[in-house]
Amino acid sequence: MTKLLVANLMIRQVNVESAVETASTPRHIALVRITHWIVVLSVLGLLVTGTGILVSHPRLYWGETGGVGTPSLIDLPIPFIIGPSVWNRPFHFFFAWVLVLTGLSYVVGSFITQHFRKDLLPAKADLRWNRIVGVVSDHLRWKRPEADAGFFLPSSGPAWRCRSGLRQCSQY
């Protein structure tokens, strides 16, 4: 009970501090945020329709063909429910195409806005062997990175303190 109260107080404290710091923390560009949420929705749609497809025909096949009369690789121990899945396969392919087109638009848009060059590609100094070894050893020792002047590190703000406090409360 005490640990839960401490975690709750830490979360409330972080919310007050984060409201002050949000003006200075950089955000992702609109392309990244929009494509992220479209990917979330399409993966959710793929999960829902895939579950519907699996419930309507709970057999998994190996190879190019599979049907009611052919032998299956795995038979799941759930009953056939054929009726409700009329639209699951078309919607499943629809969400798959939404996911593919969103990925393509992210790649093309990231090259146009130079998001890849600015935010994703490492600098030449980061590709030196001693720098790579240092980063890997810091990660293995759970050492927090040092704050750079112009770079936002989520591990150096109030969100890190909240996660760290919640992690310590949950270990007991």
Residue 155 neighbours by CB under 8 Å, 6+ apart: 144, 145
Question: Rounded to an integer, what distance in angstroms lies between the CA atom of residue 8 and that of residue 50?
Answer: 38
| pLDDT confidence of residue 148 | 47
Per-residue model confidence (pLDDT) at position 10:
42
What is the C-alpha to C-alpha distance for residues 46 and 19, in angstroms, rounded to an integer? 35
Per-residue pLDDT 10s for the chain (172 aa) are 444 444 444 444 444 455 454 555 668 889 999 999 999 999 999 999 998 888 887 888 877 777 777 888 888 888 777 666 678 889 999 999 999 999 999 999 999 999 888 888 888 888 899 998 988 888 898 887 665 444 444 555 554 444 445 454 454 3
- Give strand pairing partners of 59: 75
pLDDT of residue 1: 46
CA nearest neighbour of 104 among 37, 47, 168, 39 = 39
**48, exposed or middle or buried, with CB in 10 Å at 0-12, 13-18, 19+?**
middle
Say what the pTM is. Answer: 0.60
Per-residue model confidence (pLDDT) at position 171: 47
pLDDT of residue 87: 85
Q: Domain residue spans in the chain?
A: 30-145
DSSP state of 157: S
